[in-house]
Amino acid sequence: MNPAALRSDESPAELRERVESEPLPRNYGAHLQAVAEAYGDNLAWITIDGDGPDLTYRQISAMACKAANAFRACEVRKGHHVGVMLPNGADFLVAWLGLAKVGAVLVPVNPKLTAHELEHVLADGNVAFLLAAADSLELLKSTSVGSALVATGRIVVSDAGGEDEWGTMLSGASSDFVEQEKVHLDDPISILYTSGSTGRPKGCVLTHRYWLTLGKVKASLLPPIKRILCELPFYYMSPYYRFSAASFQAAAICVPPAPSISKFYDRIARYDIDVVWIGDPIATLPLSDSERKHKLKYVSLYGLKKELHRPLEEKLGVPVRESFGMTEVGAGLYMPADAEDMVGSGSCGIPAPFRECMVADDLGNPVAAGAIGELLIAGPGIFKGYHKNQEATTTAFWGKWFRTGDLARMDARGYFYIVGRIKEMIKRSSENIAAQEVESAIYTLPQVMEVAVIGVPDHKRGEEVKACIVLQAGVAADDLPPEAIAQHCRSRLAAFKVPRYIQYYSALPKTSSEKIAKKTLSEGGGEPASETFDLSLK
């Protein structure tokens, strides 16, 4: 196999033609085996800021075969749904790769869920077998599905500090695996639950084609690399697509025990990281002298406020490019590496290989360039639907087109811009206000670390605009009073978009994927650091 990577002399059209013309491996297990055979000595896993050995592709492949044989010894077969509830570590990745070889379906489980949330994931996900850490047993027993799995012996325990049933099984398993049931590209490989920021989590059914397409596309948009930072936990999609992208370049994911804003740039510098993904709070952090010696080659963004884009690129001195994706579609849009004129434009780019994109009206018809509508995405390798939720699946599609729920526009050159979420549109009197637009204005204040704008009920106008703000470390509310924020907004926004209410927070509530949980915030969640200020009383 030839590693997939960005070619400096390729146009976007040439890149698309190359990536789409190259055949995908027959399944994910075959892909891993091919990488191990061609690049076995390359590191695949690097542990940072924690315990555990670094692992090569040859070692990862052998461990995946052992895991596949161990699962099969537990009577796990093709199509079975297997929950994995482990701490962040190589065992989680290896379990997924082993299940992929068997043809079984991974249901990753967040060990921080409440009993009520856990019951939903286990029941909705049809989990018939479970690999879990010992310290999760009591929580599992508090659910009807978990207690039934324990009672029937359909659970294997992993315990690094005690009797390690899973470790014993792996030690005794063969590192040679023979596929007994054919595993195809369009067979499910995982069910990932959405973060549930606007409702009950839904299980996205993802196939071998999904992950191979996503990995190949992402790898082809990156320069030649060796190390990708992978700080988010394995019950979210991020580690799987970063490993998938890394594998198509025979590169390594570098995995800490947990994400850390304060350690982010230090980790990049100390571990010679090539590629990272950066969000708003991290973009505003200053670099120390040692952190300025980083060896980054490329930074990928998802929805960074456009005012932060150029300063971040100038600070880091490498290409910083926007993109757009979702659990349901994988890669959707990307900004070409040579599109320097688009830095800070707010655009998330053009359709990625294997993807068609358009902006549609309320009936699913394309709108004219410049007009705002819903972003629709189509193409091979998107999700198969929401597990056991045909109504949600039907609602999510217009024919071949997946409805993202994002408001967008496309300019005359074919570049797309996300302008807000349909469900986050604030309706104030007769005006529609995109929360993202107000957030973008507030993010230009250097004293602000995080902001979430929400609509709050108002008997006269239907809704009013409220800004929930986390200030930078060392900045007090007196340093940036509410009226100063409002005045800043008035200079950038129409009067009806200026927040009426402002409240300071120590921390905003987050989903498992580290997105701000606006539904929770609207219900009183988070850590308020002040009363709510009503600027209409000023």
Average pLDDT over residues 501-515: 87
Average pLDDT over residues 94-116: 95
What is the model's pLDDT at position 51? 83
What is the chain's mean pLDDT, rounded? 93
Pairing of strands 373-378, 356-360: antiparallel
Average pLDDT over residues 458-482: 94
Q: Which residues of 54-70 are buried (b: 16+ CB within 10 A; e: fewer)?
A: ebbbbbbbbbbbbbbbb
Domains of the chain are: 429-537 (3.30.300.30)
**Which one, of 381, 375, 365, 27, lies nearest residue 179 by Cα?**
27
What are the pLDDT digits (tens) for 285-335? 999 999 999 999 999 998 888 889 999 999 999 999 999 999 999 999 999
What are the pLDDT digits (tens) for 6-36? 787 889 999 999 999 999 999 999 999 999 9
Average pLDDT over residues 166-189: 96
**Which one, of 212, 213, 195, lies nearest residue 204 by Cα?**
195
Percent of the chain with pLDDT over 70: 98
Task: Tell me how crowded residue 1 is: count the other CB atoms within 10 A of its CB.
Answer: 13
What is the model's pLDDT at position 425? 82
What are the pLDDT digits (tens) for 375-420? 999 999 999 999 999 999 999 999 999 999 999 999 999 999 998 8
- With bands split at pLDDT 50, 70 and 90, how would you rate the model's confidence at 197? very low
What are the pLDDT digits (tens) for 149-159? 999 999 999 98
**106-110, 192-196, 446-450: least confidently modelled range:** 192-196
Burial of 326 (0-12, 13-18, 19+ CB in 10 A): buried
What are the pLDDT digits (tens) for 337-347? 999 999 999 99
Average pLDDT over residues 242-263: 95
What is the model's pLDDT at position 195? 61
Pairing of strands 298-302, 320-326: parallel
What is the model's pLDDT at position 225? 96
pLDDT of 4 over the 80 cut = no
What is the model's pLDDT at position 113? 85
What are the pLDDT digits (tens) for 346-360? 999 999 999 999 999
> pTM of the full predicted structure?
0.85
pLDDT of 196 over the 60 cut = no
